[in-house]
């Protein structure tokens, strides 16, 4: 298939190069370039640029109405539905779960694919596109897909802040919190992620941003506010 990647950053490049391995033709378009014709448009821009890209695709002289438009960006629940209604266009949501330093490797070795389907037809095509990766493919609504991404990152942020607090307690007793984490996480109910990924505040482009998006959705959250407070305290304390 002819796949256009709009926003050739970390996520866009990993997505494009990954699909290229399976024989697809990839066209990278920076945010200022003209939107050209393609079978599938993957939007991999920052969230605040998604609507502008959708509008540019719709107004492009190459647009015929049959193209599949897929947003990989983290958007607030309801955003994709709102854009579909506003622009009278079909849009799927396909969140990414890639770490910046190993994005292409993780795209090629993903453990699941989430497709927030705008319709059965486009969902079927995207499912076929991802089948060669031989991982579970979960089809759901765009709004659920958006929520899956934010919830995943909010949970990861929470586990890191939890273990950063445990680290502070361990220091009082001269204990190694990473050794503690490696032992505690032998319990199958306790994930190893936070037990290993602690000792400093979480950063990067995704976790802080998506945590803030969750806090905007639910301003009364006690837990998520505490997660951010712990992290900010490590950064500036």
Catalytic center residues: 206
C-alpha span between 60 and 131 (Å, rounded): 30
Residue given tokens 């979480």 in the structure block: 202
For the chain, the straight-line distance linking the first and the last C-alpha, in angstroms and rounded, comes to 51
Q: Are 216 and 156 in contact (CB under 8 A)?
A: no
Q: Are 53 and 45 in contact (CB under 8 A)?
A: yes
Write the CA distances from 35 to 4, 8, 47, 89, 172, integer angstroms.
9, 13, 18, 16, 58
For residues 105-138, b (16+ Cβ closer than 10 Å) or e, as one string? ebbeebeebbbbbbeeebbebbeebbeebeeebe
Task: Report the DSSP beta bridge partners of residue 27.
Answer: 4
Residue 39 class from Cβ within 10 Å (0-12 exposed, 13-18 middle, 19+ buried)? Answer: middle
């Amino acid at each position: 298939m002819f796949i256009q990647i709009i926003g050739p950053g970390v996520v866009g490049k990993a997505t494009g190069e990954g699909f290229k391995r399976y024989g697809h033709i990839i066209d990278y378009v920076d945010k200022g370039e003209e939107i050209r014709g393609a079978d599938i448009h993957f939007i991999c821009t920052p969230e605040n640029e998604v609507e502008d890209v959708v509008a540019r695709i719709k107004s492009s002289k190459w647009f015929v109405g049959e193209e599949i438009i897929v947003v990989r960006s983290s958007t607030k629940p309801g955003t994709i539905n709102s854009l579909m209604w506003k622009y009278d266009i079909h849009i799927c949501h396909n969140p990414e779960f890639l770490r910046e330093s190993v994005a292409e490797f993780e795209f090629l070795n993903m453990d699941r694919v989430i497709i927030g389907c705008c319709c059965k037809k486009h969902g079927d095509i995207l499912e076929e596109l991802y089948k060669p990766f031989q991982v579970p493919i979960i089809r759901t609504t765009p709004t659920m897909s958006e929520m899956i991404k934010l919830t995943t990152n909010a949970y990861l942020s929470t586990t890191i802040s939890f273990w950063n607090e445990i680290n502070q307690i361990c220091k009082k007793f001269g204990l190694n919190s990473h050794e503690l984490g490696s032992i505690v996480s032998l319990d199958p109910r306790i994930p190893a992620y936070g037990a290993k990924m602690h000792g400093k505040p979480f950063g990067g482009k995704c976790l802080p941003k998506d945590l803030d998006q969750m806090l905007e959705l639910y301003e009364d959250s006690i837990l998520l506010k505490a997660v951010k407070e712990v992290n900010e305290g490590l950064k500036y304390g």
